C-alpha cells in the first residue's frame, strides 16, 4: 500500500490542509482523484500534492483512493505554483488549484467548441525590422537560445513595433520545441492580436483563454493546450494559468495595466505568477509598455529586469502632436459644452478629410452623480455606500460596484425638494452631445455598458477598423493597444477624471492613460493630433505626457514615492475582515493589528494603521473592516506568514469572520 497527501475540493478554511489516503495505484503529483471524505464517506474530488508519504497516524484509520481521472490533472510545476501561491498570498490551496483547473468535462468527439472559429488572419507586410527592433530581438533571442531564465522590460513608444518583436521572439521559442503565452490587458484586444498571430503561426497552433468564453469553449481550449495541440496561448489575465508545459516565454503586453492585478479571491499579481512559472522552466519573461509602471521601471534600474528601449516609431513615423487645453479659459469665454473650440474645430477638419476621431473619457454613464440642488443630498447605493451614476438610456441610477439599478425619485428623500439634477459627464452623455454636433456622422461608443460580450466588442472594433464608424467614444478600452491606421485625431475630453481620484497612483495612471490613448493617433502615413482638455493643464503628469517624456515623469514621480514611502519603496498589505456582525469584524481587525504590532517587525508601528470600515464593500447583510500596512522592503513574506497564522487562529477558535489578504491593492482606493 502506498500513501499520498491530497488537497480536498471543499471550499472551507477548516479543510485547507493535506489529508492522507492509501492507494494501490501509481499516482503522480497533480492527479485528480476521487476519495471518500468525512463521516458519511461522500465521494469528493481531490488533488494529489505529495506522493510516497509516511503516515503519522494509525493506518487502520486511513481511507483509500477510489479512482483517478485520466484526462484532467495538474503538472508538477502547477502543483509547486499552487503551494507557492498559498504561502505568498495567504489563500487556500483550493483557491490556487481552481485558477489552473477549469470547470466542466470532456466533450464528445466532434462536439468541441472553437471560439473565434470565423476569425481569419490579418496579413501585415513587414519589409524589414528597424535597427532598434533588431537590437532588442538579439538580446531576447540570446536568452531563448541559451535556455536562460531572464526578465526583460521592453520600453517602446506607441507604434514602435513591439508586437512584431513579440511574434519574432515567439517564433524563436517554437523552434526550440517550447510553448509561449501572450497576455493582453483587455479581452477586447484578443481578437486583433489573434488575427495577426493566425497569419504568422496558423490557427491550429493557437488557443484563446479569457473569462468571456463560455464554459464549454474554455474547457475545450484548456484541453487543447493540456494535450500539446496548441503551443501559443493568447488571452487576458487568467491565461497565465494555461496548462502549457515546457513554457519558453510569457509576454505581458501593456504590463502597466491595473487589470493584471486580480481584485477577486485569489488576489494575485499576474507578473508574480508568470515569474514563478518561468523559474521552473528557465523561460523568458518579456514585459512591454510605452508607459511602464513606476514599480517595473524602478526594478529595471535596480537590475531585477533587463531594460530594452525602442524610442522611435516604426519607419520613423512621427509621434502625434499633443495640445493641452485649459478648460477654465473655455468657461471664461462662455463655452460650457464638453468640447473646447479647438477640439471641435479639429474634429470637423479631420472628418472632412476622411479621417477618423477617437474621444476618450474614463467615466461611463450619462452623468456622474445625481444630487438635490436644495440640500445637496447625493443619491447613493444603499449597500455599497457610493454615489450612483445616471444612465439616461435606462433612466436609472446605477451602482458601478454592485451593478444594481435604482429609479430616480421625483422628490429628494431627505428634504422633499423637487430640484433633482444631474451633474458631470460620462461617455453616454458625450455620445449624445457628439451625435447632436455631428448628425451626419456615424458615432459608436465602447465601454462596459456597450461591450457586454466578446461578439459585441469585436463588432464595435471591427466597424471602426473598417472605416464604417467615423467617431469612436470610449473609456480606457479604446486606449489599450488597438492599432487603427486612419485615426487623425484623439480627444481626451476630461483628463482630470483620473488625476484627482484618492489614490497614490493617480498621477501615474493619468500619465499612462493620456500617453496610451494619444498613441492611437497618427499610426498611418499622416501625423496625428491629440487634444487634452483639463482644468489643471499645468500638472506634471499632463505636461510630461504632452511632450512624450516618460523619463521626466518617472524622475519626478519616483521622488514623491520615496518621500511618501509608497511602492516601490514599500509594499502595501491590506487585510480585510468580513462578518455578519459589525462588532465582530472590527474586533478581529483590531486584534490582528495588535498581534502584528506586538511582533515588532518594524520600528515604526504607526505604519500599521488602525482599522477602517470599508465603505465600498458590496456584501449584503455583512460588514468589512480593514487594516493597511506600509511594509518595508524585505519584510513582506514575514508579514504574510504572521497574518496567515492569525487567520488560522480565527478558524481554530470558530470565529465567524472571513479574512483576506491583498498585497498592493487597487480596489480599496
pTM to 2 decimal places: 0.86
Instruction: For residue 45, give the C-alpha cell.
Output: 474530488
pLDDT at 120: 76
Q: Give the burial string for 557-575 (b: 16+ CB within 10 Å, else e).
A: bbeebeeeebbbbbbbbbb
Q: Which residues contact 3 (CB under 8 A, 6 or more apart)?
A: 20, 21, 22, 23, 52, 53, 54, 55, 62
The closest alpha carbon to 284, from 234, 250, 236, belongs to 250
All domains of the chain in start order, with CATH = 2-100 (3.40.1440.60), 131-315 (3.40.50.300), 317-365+427-561 (3.40.50.300), 367-424 (no CATH), 570-663 (3.30.70.600)
Bridge-based pairing state of the strands 31-37 and 42-50: antiparallel
Rounded to whole angstroms, the maximal C-alpha distance in the chain is 88
Count other C-beta atoms under 10 Å from residue 308's C-beta: 22
Whose cell is 497618427? That residue is 522
Can you name the residues that pair with 422 across neighbouring β-strands? Answer: 370
Residue length of the chain? 669
Query: Computed over its alpha carbons, how large is the radius of gyration of the chain?
Result: 27
pLDDT at 522: 72
- Cis status, amide bond into 568, omega within 30 of 0: yes
d(Cα 129, Cα 141) in Å, to the nearest integer?
Answer: 15
Positions of the chain with pLDDT under 70: 122-125, 127, 364-371, 373, 376, 383-387, 400-403, 421-424, 451-452, 454, 480-482, 500-502, 523-525, 603, 605, 615-616, 618, 667-669
Whose cell is 458601478? That residue is 400
Count other C-beta atoms under 10 Å from residue 414's C-beta: 12
Burial class (CB in 10 A: 0-12, 13-18, 19+), 636: middle
The closest alpha carbon to 493, from 566, 573, 417, 433, belongs to 433
d(Cα 121, Cα 199) in Å, to the nearest integer?
Answer: 4
Taking CA 377 as the corner, what is the angle to CA 373 and CA 379, rounded to the nearest 5 degrees?
110
d(Cα 190, Cα 200) in Å, to the nearest integer?
Answer: 15
Coil/strand/helix, residue 182:
strand
pLDDT at 384: 47
The closest alpha carbon to 165, from 141, 144, 145, 195, belongs to 141
d(Cα 99, Cα 82) in Å, to the nearest integer?
Answer: 9
pLDDT at 365: 66
Helix (H) or strand (E) holding 530: strand 529-534
pLDDT at 52: 95
Coil/strand/helix, residue 166:
helix
pLDDT at 578: 95
Amino acid at each position: 500500500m502506498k500513501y499520498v497527501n491530497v488537497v480536498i475540493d471543499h471550499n472551507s478554511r477548516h479543510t485547507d490542509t493535506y489529508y492522507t489516503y492509501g492507494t494501490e495505484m501509481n499516482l503522480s503529483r497533480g492527479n485528480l482523484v476521487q476519495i471518500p471524505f468525512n463521516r458519511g464517506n461522500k465521494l469528493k474530488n481531490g488533488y494529489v500534492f505529495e506522493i510516497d508519504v509516511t503516515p503519522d497516524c494509525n493506518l487502520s484509520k486511513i481511507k483509500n483512493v477510489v479512482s483517478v481521472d485520466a484526462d484532467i490533472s495538474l503538472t508538477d510545476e502547477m502543483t509547486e505554483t499552487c503551494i507557492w501561491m498559498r504561502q505568498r498570498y495567504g489563500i487556500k490551496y483550493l483557491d490556487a488549484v481552481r485558477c489552473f483547473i477549469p470547470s466542466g468535462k470532456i466533450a464528445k468527439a466532434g462536439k468541441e467548441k472553437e471560439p473565434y472559429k470565423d476569425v481569419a488572419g490579418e496579413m501585415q507586410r513587414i519589409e524589414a525590422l528597424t535597427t532598434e527592433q533588431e537590437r532588442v530581438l538579439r538580446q531576447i533571442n540570446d536568452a531563448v537560445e541559451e535556455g536562460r531564465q531572464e526578465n526583460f522590460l521592453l520600453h517602446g513608444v506607441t507604434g514602435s513595433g513591439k508586437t512584431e518583436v513579440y511574434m519574432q521572439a515567439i517564433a524563436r521559442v517554437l523552434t526550440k520545441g517550447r510553448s509561449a503565452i501572450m497576455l493582453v490587458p483587455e479581452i477586447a484586444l484578443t481578437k486583433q492580436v489573434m488575427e495577426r498571430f493566425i497569419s504568422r503561426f496558423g490557427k491550429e497552433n493557437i488557443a484563446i483563454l479569457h473569462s468571456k468564453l463560455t464554459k464549454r469553449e474554455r474547457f475545450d481550449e484548456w484541453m487543447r493546450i493540456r494535450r500539446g495541440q496548441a503551443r501559443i496561448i493568447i488571452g487576458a489575465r487568467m491565461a497565465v494559468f494555461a496548462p502549457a508545459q515546457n513554457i519558453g516565454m510569457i509576454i505581458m503586453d501593456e504590463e502597466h495595466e491595473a487589470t493584471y492585478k486580480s481584485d477577486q479571491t485569489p488576489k494575485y499579481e499576474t507578473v508574480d505568477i508568470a515569474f514563478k512559472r518561468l523559474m521552473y522552466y528557465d523561460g523568458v519573461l518579456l514585459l512591454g509598455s510605452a508607459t511602464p509602471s513606476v514599480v517595473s521601471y524602478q526594478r529595471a534600474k535596480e537590475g531585477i529586469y533587463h531594460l530594452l528601449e525602442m524610442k522611435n516609431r516604426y519607419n520613423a513615423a512621427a509621434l502625434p502632436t499633443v495640445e493641452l487645453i485649459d478648460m477654465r479659459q473655455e468657461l471664461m469665454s462662455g463655452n460650457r459644452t464638453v468640447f473646447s473650440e479647438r477640439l471641435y474645430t479639429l474634429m470637423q477638419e479631420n472628418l472632412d478629410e476622411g479621417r477618423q476621431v477617437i474621444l476618450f473619457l474614463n467615466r461611463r454613464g450619462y452623468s456622474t452623480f445625481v444630487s438635490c440642488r436644495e440640500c445637496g443630498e447625493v443619491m447613493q447605493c444603499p449597500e455599497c455606500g457610493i454615489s450612483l451614476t445616471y444612465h439616461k438610456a435606462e433612466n436609472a441610477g446605477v451602482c458601478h460596484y454592485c451593478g444594481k439599478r435604482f429609479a430616480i425619485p421625483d422628490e429628494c428623500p431627505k428634504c422633499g425638494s423637487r430640484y433633482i439634477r444631474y451633474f458631470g459627464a460620462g461617455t453616454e452623455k458625450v455620445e449624445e452631445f457628439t451625435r447632436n454636433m455631428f448628425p451626419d456622422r456615424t458615432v459608436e461608443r465602447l465601454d462596459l455598458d456597450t461591450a457586454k460580450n466578446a461578439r459585441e466588442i469585436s463588432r464595435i472594433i471591427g466597424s471602426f477598423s473598417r472605416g464604417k464608424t467615423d467617431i469612436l467614444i470610449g473609456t480606457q478600452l479604446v486606449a489599450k493597444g488597438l492599432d487603427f491606421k486612419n485615426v487623425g485625431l484623439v480627444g481626451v475630453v476630461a483628463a482630470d477624471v483620473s488625476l484627482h481620484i484618492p489614490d497614490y497612483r493617480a498621477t501615474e495612471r493619468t500619465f499612462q492613460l493620456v500617453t496610451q490613448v494619444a498613441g492611437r493617433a497618427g499610426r498611418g502615413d499622416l501625423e496625428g493630433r491629440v487634444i487634452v482638455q483639463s482644468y489643471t493643464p499645468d500638472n506634471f503628469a499632463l505636461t510630461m505626457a504632452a511632450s512624450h517624456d516618460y523619463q521626466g515623469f518617472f524622475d519626478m514621480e519616483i521622488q514623491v514615492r520615496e518621500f511618501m514611502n509608497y511602492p516601490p519603496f514599500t509594499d502595501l498589505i491590506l487585510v480585510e475582515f468580513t462578518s455578519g456582525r459589525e462588532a465582530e469584524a472590527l474586533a478581529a481587525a483590531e486584534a490582528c493589528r495588535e498581534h502584528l504590532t506586538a511582533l515588532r517587525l518594524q520600528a515604526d508601528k504607526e505604519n500599521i494603521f488602525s482599522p477602517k470600515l470599508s465603505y465600498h464593500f458590496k456584501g449584503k447583510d455583512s460588514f468589512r473592516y480593514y487594516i493597511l500596512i506600509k511594509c518595508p522592503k524585505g519584510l513582506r513574506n514575514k508579514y504574510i506568514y504572521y497574518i496567515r497564522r492569525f487567520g488560522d487562529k480565527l478558524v481554530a477558535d470558530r470565529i465567524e469572520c472571513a479574512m483576506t489578504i491583498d498585497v498592493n491593492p487597487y480596489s480599496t482606493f
